[in-house]
Amino acid sequence: MIAASWSRDVPAEGRTERGQNLVEFALLMPFILLFLGAIIWFALAMHTRSNLQQAVREAARQAAVGQDLVTVQEAGAGNAPETLEPEEVKWCLPTGSSGHVGESIRVYIDEGNDGTEGYSYTLAPATGVFAFFGVSNVEVNMQPRATARLEKSMTGVPACAP
């Protein structure tokens, strides 16, 4: 009976590269995870942007048919309840519009309620690994807005800031 040892079955040139795949995997894995994390963060931001855009689009539709501000705000916030409060949904008449049928009305988000458009989305909070490296909050300013043509004349709608 011939006893075959493991070292005789593996060619000599194959023995020198044992573990190479593990080392390459260990070196590349942090970059793969970072890339995957970036894709997920970007997807979450786009999901939020899409929800906000749908909210202002629905609110603009409600405004165009002559609903009051409270109804418009509730319609907008109802389409993005985890993101928006009703008072953050605003409307205005673009330059040249006086609120008559056929003219435009704009609906936008004013998160700070200071008259400027925008929703501040925190892309990467300054916690965990980011806090360890001294990175502050990474925020993206989203400015979803929608314009619709009035089907009913409206009064009391403010003019949009230039």
Concatenating the DSSP letter of every residue in 34-60 gives HHHHHHHHHHHHHHHHHHHHHHHHHHH
Could you report the per-residue pLDDT of 149-161, keeping only the tens digit for each? 999 999 989 998 8
In a domain? residue 69: yes
| Structural domain for 118, as ranges | 24-149
In a domain? residue 139: yes
In a domain? residue 13: no
Higher pLDDT, 93 or 131: 93
Could you report the per-residue pLDDT of 104-136, keeping only the tens digit for each? 999 999 887 676 788 888 887 777 777 787 778
Look at the chain and report how many structural domains it folds into.
Answer: 1
Considering only CA atoms, which of 117, 119, 107 is closest in space to residue 82?
119
In a domain? residue 45: yes
**Count of CB atoms within 10 A of residue 75's CB?**
21
In a domain? residue 155: no
Please tell me the pTM assigned to this model. Answer: 0.77
Per-residue pLDDT at 69 exceeds 70: yes
In a domain? residue 74: yes
